Amino acid sequence: MASNHIGTLDDDKWWNESTTKGFNFGDESDSIGEEDSSFFGGHHEAATKINLELRAEVSSLRSFASDGSSEDHSEIQRIRDLPAFLWSDTGTIEKELEKPIISGSAPLAHDLISRDLGEGRLHIPQVDETIHQFLISSDAVILEPYKSYSQKRQLLSKAVEINDGNAILGVTMFLSKSLRPSLFRQLLMEFKPATEHYIRFLETRNEINHLVDLLNMLGRSKEALLLRYKQILRRAGGNLQNLLKDLKHFSSADCQLSDEDVVLFINQHLMLLDIQKEIKEKKDTLFPHTEYSSVLGTLGFVAEHFYENTTPQLNVDSIKQKFNLNSKQYAWVVLHALVKQQKWPQIETLLLTKSWLGGTKDKCLLPLEDVCFSLKEAPIDLISRFLRLIDDYDKRLTIARKLKCHMVVLDVYAAQKDRAAILTYRANLEENSKEAVYADNTLKNASIKWKN
């Protein structure tokens, strides 16, 4: 116990009196002493001395491990695991320190950033080297050492130049957190690819508020409004009442200073929602909102259930005027609604108009071939009326045969003066039917000059 106490006192005395000064964390000196500078600066004499001392220690270990009385070779392996300059005669500490880092990939960004101990400054790698790290692994790239605006601009410029999405997005996100909004906007307006990558990223993350702020900052207010509008539609989830309420608030609060196109679009949607609300309030009608949510879908539903209704909200002509539908759009949607209700007289009124200058020939607003096939369940007389409006005989004949409008087929053969064709067709008609009688009368027509 006494010897231990004496040893402790000796140690304290050595540390207090020794001319060798230990490292002091409280030392306020910013400079590094001459001895430290020699060591870290790598003077040849210091490196040689350290090399010799280490070799001496390892030599004693080697002689111990090679003793024949020792059957355990683990010590030899432990020596072999040491750096080569310790146990090899050819290695030196200088050569070991000069060896490059060998790995399966290029050095990572944080490996490239080192501190110059002699001058106390942070060494920042070249922009090209840092951006190249994104091609290896974007998770390992450190951008924080780049402090100045010019350095950050160089990073973004290089990322856009190599046209790598990870690099562009990584640098852009770094800039969004480290630059003032005005400077960040300036860079986004200068580098369009960075803007688009950042916008797509915010969309995928569903950061709508952040994205709306960004678009407004870039002067793209119309896109910001439409994005907010889409958000309202998704949030409503098909609930008509909630959608109408949110959209009215959006129209009054956010669209007042917008351009005319957006205002018109939102107002038309509000008018549509009012019509749909009116439909749902009819107790005898179940309106499937999600299926008929469009203007044309709503028009079709109104035409099917309220065609003769004179109420302004539920009148097909009123809907046509409110939403500025052209005649063909309107006629095509209403036609299909009337076919479902088998309102054949109303279809004639809808589609047929008199020719110009008081002519008596009917004209159809829609392609006649499509109309005829849409009316395939209609009475034959109605189909035949539209078939006879087709000017091309071959097309008229083909459609008439498909729809089994026999009288129209016989009329075409008569117009072509083809008696043989009528006789052949007559053989397939039911005896004493109206069509068979019509064929016989056609064959007896003395005014027709048959070609065969």
Please check the confidence at residue 102 and state whether its pLDDT lies above 50.
no
**Do 110 and 189 share a structural domain?**
yes
What pLDDT, on the 0 to 100 scale, is given for residue 340?
93
**Do 416 and 382 share a structural domain?**
yes
Q: Which residues are registered as beta bridge partners of 115? A: 122
Please say whether the beta carbons of 397 and 409 come within 8 A. yes
Q: What is the full DSSP assignment across 215-276?
A: HHHTT-HHHHHHHHHHHHHHHHTT-HHHHHHHHHHHHHHTSTTS-HHHHHHHHHHHHHHHHH
What pLDDT, on the 0 to 100 scale, is given for residue 69?
47
Please check the confidence at residue 452 and state whether its pLDDT lies above 90.
no
DSSP secondary-structure letter at 126? P
Judged by DSSP in three states, 11 sits in: helix
DSSP secondary-structure letter at 21? P
Within 138-238, strands assigned E span none
User: pLDDT digit string (tens) for 419-451?
Assistant: 999 999 999 999 989 999 999 999 999 899 998
393 Cβ contact list (under 8 Å, min separation 6): 412, 415, 416
**Do 402 and 376 share a structural domain?**
yes
Residue 278 lies in a domain: no
| Structural domain ending residue among the three candidates 219, 254, 288 | 219
**Do 80 and 142 share a structural domain?**
no
| Structural domain ending residue among the three candidates 202, 219, 236 | 219
What pLDDT, on the 0 to 100 scale, is given for residue 25?
43
407 Cβ contact list (under 8 Å, min separation 6): 384, 435, 438
Report the C-alpha gap between 87 and 368 in whole angstroms: 98
Residue range of the domain that includes 170: 106-219
Residue 145 lies in a domain: yes
Number of domains observed in the structure of the chain:
3
Residue 226 lies in a domain: no
**Do 59 and 93 share a structural domain?**
yes
AA identity, residue 194? A
What pLDDT, on the 0 to 100 scale, is given for residue 359?
57
User: pLDDT digit string (tens) for 126-163?
Assistant: 888 888 888 887 677 888 889 999 999 999 999 999 99
**Do 110 and 215 share a structural domain?**
yes
Residue 232 lies in a domain: no
Place of tokens 């054949």: 344
User: pLDDT digit string (tens) for 372-393?
Assistant: 999 999 999 999 999 999 999 9
Locate 374 and state its tokens. Answer: 């849409």
Question: 123: closest CA among 109, 138, 137, 106?
Answer: 109
